[in-house]
Structure formats: structure tokens, C-alpha cells
Amino acid sequence: MTEYVFENKRLTSGTPVVILSELKTLKQTLEASLSDEEAKIALHICRKKEVKSGDVVSFESPHRPIFIVIFDHAQKDLTLTGGKMYKHIKNEASVAIIVPQNLKEEGVYQMALGIELGSYSFDKYLTKREDKDFAKLETVIFKAKHLDLSAKKYVPYAALANGVRYARDLTNEPANNMTPEIMSDDIKRLSYLGLDVEVLDEKRMKSCGFNLALAVAQGSENKPRVVVIKWLGNKEKSDIDLGLVGKGVTFDAGGISLKPGNGMWDMKQDMAGAAAVVGALKVAALQKLPINVVGVVGLVENMPSGSAIRPGDVVASMSGQTVEILNTDAEGRLVLADLLWYIQSEYRVKKVIDIATLTGAIMVALGTEMAGVMGNSQKLIDDVKKAGFASGEEVWQLPLTSAYNKMMDSEIADMKNISESRNAGSITAACFLERFIKKGTSWAHLDIAGMDKETKGKPLTPKGATGFGVKLFAELMKNL
């Protein structure tokens, strides 16, 4: 892991430097930060390249490598600047970032966070890579004479990076190495942070009435788990400030309603919602937030076999309501239904958010730029939207009405798990979940299908799992 140093010690000769500058003050910044010779070369290169805000320029001076990062002081968040910077500095053993006078402390820490997020990689299974293929960056030094920077002040940002990277690790793992049992064991380790982690095995799930989740899991050799993670940061009260519920289908073949083979390998990521919940609880513990939060994740595999649930079967949920299962590939909502009922009944939460890679329909509606949000509380939805905007994990609200809800009525049970229409698939899925929300509970649903994976690679989200939801939840929890 890269070390981040916040001090004004004298640099050793030859240390690569990063010069941060706004475009309008570029000449003055270069002249103040570099030797006359270096400043002259740097200015010539920048003018020749016609640099603009967001650009990174690098060159090798006779004495050291120099990187020039053009940023806009009006940016609300400089995390992206750090992410962009990383790909230019990753092959240096150490770099010193010269912080300009007009940059505040928060901006410095945001850039460090951006470097941490942008430097993530999942390469544990690559056996033939050479040393030259790995990033070499070990130390990043931030020099700012006008600021009182410290490693202690950076701790909340480092905690956020840790939570996101952990969620990415969980989601990137292949399904053979991230079964419900393996994932629950991994989560259990987090108790060293002060988190209260309880694992419910299949026997406990049966006694508690997780009938829908068990129905999804019954076709797999890998037994299901439910994991409850509690962070009780406010010992002065017993109430839970927020409940988080995550879909954790560690592999989704679709069950008897089998998915097409092409692309099925991506279904190892159908537990990204659960990973986001776990990552967010880890952030809460590392940041020692003065709030009480409980997270519940349901970990199952959805496989076809002779023991699998069949289309047309009817199952009684934990709530007592019956569900006609028309499509076994609409399994995530079944798992979430029992989890939502459980967290309300067991922990009396009055504010709950569920997160899931729930429907392909949300990608048709929103693509891969935003997640969908729906719910029964406009106040909570607005809070989620604000947190999404502030964290860079944006969401867009879709409507829930009685007309959509009626589409989930069944002729032989209390409800069915699909609407039998291709229309409004994300909305009707949320309507199904709404039937498991008790009166008086504020509820929001996040459909993050499409947001859980980055296929091309961006400055803050390299290829692979994104950890979407962790930053949003962290922002939301910070403001409770």
C-alpha cells in the first residue's frame, strides 16, 4: 500500500515533483515552485500542448521528473484530480506534491483519496506478470507551508478508501472463492474493528423464517447465510439510526429460469449490494461515527438443480404474505423481502435502505451513469440523492404508484415476483419490495445494476468492481 506523508520536510535530490496549478496562475506557480530552467521548460511545454483544466503534463528535467496538474479551484471535489494524477505518477517510487497557496486542507485529502481509489487493482490470480507490470508508487508526500496537514486528519478519508477497496475485493472474487460461507467468514473478521457481527446459518435461517431466501438457495450445494453487522457508535441510546440491507447472490445462474450462457460469468457480482453494505459498515467503524447502524446481508447462490425452486411454486415469506414465483431469475427481490422484514422486526429500524443489482431494466432506463432510487419517503430519497451527488455516486428517482403496484398482484397468492410485462421492470420490482415495508418505516431502494462494474476503466474506478454505494452510504451516515 502507498504511504501518504503530510509534512514539509526537505526533499531529497531527484525526488519527482507534482506541481498543482490553476490555468490562470500557471506561470507564477511554475516560477515559484521550480528552478528558472525547469519553469521555462515547463511553461513552454504547457503552452505547446495548449493545456486546459484537468490535464496532466509530464517531462524529465535534468534533475528530476516533473508533473504539472492543471486543476480548477472552483471544483467541489478534487478526488477526481487525484485519480487522474495517479496513472501519471504510478511508476515513480515516491513523489512530492507541491500544494498551492489557494488550496484548502480538504482538497489535499480529497486528492490523496483519489490516488487511493484510482490505484486499486485486483491481480491476485495473475501468475505471469513481471515486476515491470506492477505500479511502483510507495510514498506520496504533500508539501504545504500554509496548511497544518497531518496523517491524523486524513484518517476519515483513508477509512473511506479502505471501505470502497474492501467492497471491490469482495465483488471481484470469483464465485468459487466467494461462496455464502466464505463471504460470511470474511465479514466475521471485521469484528476486530468493534463491529458486532452475527452469522445465521441455514438452521438459524429456517428457525427465523427466511423462507423466500431459503427457496432461492435450495438449488445450490453451497448453503446460504444471513449476516448481521452492527456498529453502535452512540452508546447513550438504544435506537438504530439507519438500517442497510444488501442483496448478496454470490452467483446467479437464474435457477430453473436459466440465464443465457453469454455473460453469465458476470453474475459473480450479483452480491455487489451486500458488499456495499459491508464496506459502508467498515467505514463507520474506522471513522468511529457517533451513530448506530445495522446492516443485514443475505448470501445465497441461485442455481438450477433437481432441488431448485420451480416457476409456479408458492412460498410463504417471513412476513406471512405468500409469493407466487413465476420466474426464478427474479430472485434478488425474494431475498431482500425477508431481509427487510427481519431488520424491521428484529431491530425496529424506522429508516431503512436496501441496495441491490436488482434489474436489467434500470440499465435500459439510466444506462451506467446513475443508479435508480425509489421509496416511500421523499425526505429519505432526497437525503440519498444529496449524498449521491456529494459523493460522486449519483442516483435518479423513479416513481412508485398504486397502478404499478397492482401489476404485482397474483391470482393464486398475495403477490407474484414478476409483473408478466416487460414494462417498468425496475419500478415493479421496487413495488414488490414495498409490500414488505411496515407502516411507519421510511424506506428507500437503490437499484445499482450497471453501476457495480466498470468495463473500460476511469480515474477513480479501474476496470472491475466499483464498490458503488459505499461512498454514498458514508456520506449519508456522516450527516445523520
**Rounded mean pLDDT of 241-252?**
98
* Amino acid at position 143, single letter: K
Cα-flanking dihedrals φ and ψ of residue 388, to 5°?
-65, -45
Domain 3-149's class? alpha beta
pLDDT for 445 equals 98
Which residue of the set 259, 386, 435, 458 is catalytic?
Answer: 259
182, 272, 357, 384 from 453: Cα distances, Å: 22, 9, 10, 21
pLDDT tier for residue 129 given thresholds of 50, 70 and 90: confident
pLDDT for 10 equals 84
pLDDT for 370 equals 98
Q: What CATH number labels 157-478?
A: 3.40.630.10
pLDDT for 314 equals 98
Q: Is the pLDDT of residue 74 over 90?
A: no
* Concatenated DSSP letters of 321-390: -EEEES-TT--HHHHHHHHHHHHHHHH--SEEEEEE---THHHHHHTTT-EEEEES-HHHHHHHHHHHHH
Q: Which residues contact 423 (CB under 8 A, 6 or more apart)?
A: none
Instruction: Give the three-state DSSP class for 170.
Output: helix
232, 281, 353 from 239: Cα distances, Å: 10, 17, 16
pLDDT for 12 equals 86
pLDDT tier for residue 15 given thresholds of 50, 70 and 90: very high
pLDDT for 280 equals 99
107, 442, 460 from 114: Cα distances, Å: 10, 33, 6
Distance CA 382, CA 390 (A): 12
Instruction: Give the three-state DSSP class for 304.
Output: coil
The string of pLDDT tens digits covering residues 298-310 is 999 999 999 999 9
What are the boundaries of each domain within the chain? 3-149, 157-478
Q: Is the pLDDT of residue 73 over 80?
A: no
Whether 333 is catalytic is: yes
pLDDT for 431 equals 98
**Rounded mean pLDDT of 357-361?**
98
Q: What percent of the chain has pLDDT over 90?
A: 94
**Rounded mean pLDDT of 280-286?**
98
pTM: 0.97
pLDDT for 432 equals 98
Q: Is the pLDDT of residue 76 over 80?
A: no
pLDDT for 42 equals 96
DSSP secondary-structure letter at 56? E
Whether 259 is catalytic is: yes
**Rounded mean pLDDT of 180-186?**
98
Residue with cell 410485462: 421
Distance CA 185, CA 227 (A): 10
Measured from the Cβ of residue 366, the count of other Cβ atoms closer than 10 Å reads: 20
Which residue of the set 165, 225, 230, 333 is catalytic?
Answer: 333
**Rounded mean pLDDT of 356-379?**
98
